[in-house]
Amino acid sequence: MSTLVMKFGGTSMAGIERIRAVAQRVARARAEGHAVAVVVSAMAGETDRLVGLCREASPLAEPAEYDVVVSSGEQVTTGLLAIALNAMGVPARSFLGWQLPIRTSDTHGTARIRAIGTDALRHAMASGTVAVVPGFQGVTAEGRVTTLGRGGSDTSAVALAAALRAQRCDIYTDVEGVFTTDPRIVPRARRLARITYEEMLELASVGAKVLQTRSVELAMKERVPVRVLSSFTDGPGTLVTGEDEIVEQELIAGVAYDRNEAKVTVVGVPDRPGVVAAIFAPLAEAHINVDMIVQNVAHDRPITDVTFTVPRTELARARTALEAHQAAIGFERLLTDEKVVKVSVVGVGMRSHSGVAVTMFRALAERGINIQAITTSEIRISVLIAEEYLELAVRVLHSAYGLDAPQ
């Protein structure tokens, strides 16, 4: 019998009616002869609400207790889906993270899955029972509850599919698949029939939140075929798969954006070896990820400026870390800007085609959009621009690379 992991996101689980619709989809898959494990998210908005309660209780909430609170949304939907399935005559039962167990690291709030115990699941599924498992949660070796970071249920689902050696991991969400860009911003975005793991990984890591980055990393490593599809309509969705299985490769797979960006300019630093290291050491110590970096060239004076981006949510901490080392680094002052966004184009076709970057820069220039920083990888180009131009830039780039659906 083939094993299928089906994951349902928050919008799909928002309310009893929708949970019943999910139960029907699961029942269909089981009737088709699959052994089914289902991974569920909390109801839409619930995790945000729980995070808010923790902050209200204390801005310094202990991460381990935060995890106890925010993981509870998934416990509720897990139980409710099992109830809905049983009520329909489909045998089902819940298996919470600590019961399986889903073993993780002890980095509360962003824990990584180490191993999943599947004996109880396999036993239940072999007798035709649907196993319902909460996404987003796990347990440390010491038995404390953890969560995997926002959007982490995708990773739970792929990890479970890998552990069960499932034929496929189907991710049901509120759009019909992976699109050439966020369909909520560009109505002419097109659904991709297939996308490579590599492209999906780059798109996710630069902001396309349709799949959590780590879920794609894991799927690529474990070679789990992932399908993204809608829980509200029937359609083929998008298959995330290896490059060798894609016959006709497009130059650009998609355009993504990230609002969680802030720009820091360290003004007036001595232009000599060791200064850049002195700036980034305190940030690394504070576990703050630095992304785009630009160092201006000093022509006539022995001092220069260094500009870089950090996640907007980390800006205050970055400022504190740098200010604590002002004397040692020797800078004059810090300038920060939170009204910036990163827009990226991604495609494996970039490896073999030139002119991809100039198309991007020209399209933005024609609309008067100034580029404040640039980074690239082998298959991606990202630019930092003012936030007010976000939607315009995404639309313009989508057209410039010929991605618009025909009208």
Q: Given the DSSP bridges, would you call strands 3-8 and 35-40 parallel, antiparallel or unpaired?
A: parallel
**Interacting residue with ligand ASP among 66, 136, 179, 257 (CB under 6 A):** 136
Beta strands in 74-222 (DSSP E): 92-94, 102-104, 113-116, 130-134, 137-139, 145-147, 168-173, 194-196
Q: Are 397 and 373 in contact (CB under 8 A)?
A: no
* 65, interface contact from ligand ASP, Mg ion, ligand ADP, none, CB < 5-8 Å by kind: none
Nearer Cβ to ligand ASP (20/150): 150
State the DSSP string of 385-403: EEGGGHHHHHHHHHHHTT-
State yes or no: residue 135 binds ligand ASP (CB under 6 A). Answer: yes
Nearer Cβ to ligand ADP (125/200): 200
| Residue that has been written with the tokens 């509870």 in this structure | 72
- Dihedral angle computed from the Cα positions of residues 346, 347, 353 and 356, in that order, rounded to the nearest 10 degrees: -20
* 175, interface contact from ligand ADP, Mg ion, ligand ASP, none, CB < 5-8 Å by kind: ligand ADP
- Cβ-closest position to ligand ADP: 9
- Sole window of 93-101, 146-154, 247-255, 274-282 interacting with ligand ASP (rule: CB under 6 A): 146-154
**Interacting residue with ligand ASP among 3, 10, 116, 329 (CB under 6 A):** 10
The number of C-alpha atoms within 13 Å of 347 and in the hemisphere containing its C-beta is 24
Q: What angle (nearest 5°) sits at the alpha carbon of residue 213, between those of residues 210 and 215?
A: 90
Binding string to ligand ASP for residues 46 to 65, with x set by CB under 6 A, is what? -x------------------
Size of the site for ligand ASP (CB under 6 A): 13
Q: Are 262 and 250 in contact (CB under 8 A)?
A: no
Distance of CA 91 to the CA centre of its chain: 33
Contacts (CB under 6 A) with ligand ASP, residues 16-45: 41-42
State yes or no: residue 134 binds ligand ASP (CB under 6 A). Answer: no
State yes or no: residue 151 binds Mg ion (CB under 5 A). Answer: yes
| Residue that has been written with the tokens 């474990």 in this structure | 222
* 178, interface contact from Mg ion, ligand ADP, ligand ASP, none, CB < 5-8 Å by kind: ligand ADP
State yes or no: residue 158 binds ligand ASP (CB under 6 A). Answer: no
Handedness of CA 171, 188, 261, 276 (dihedral sign): positive
Task: Report the interface residues with ligand ASP, using CB under 6 A.
Answer: 9-10, 41-42, 47, 73, 135-136, 150-154
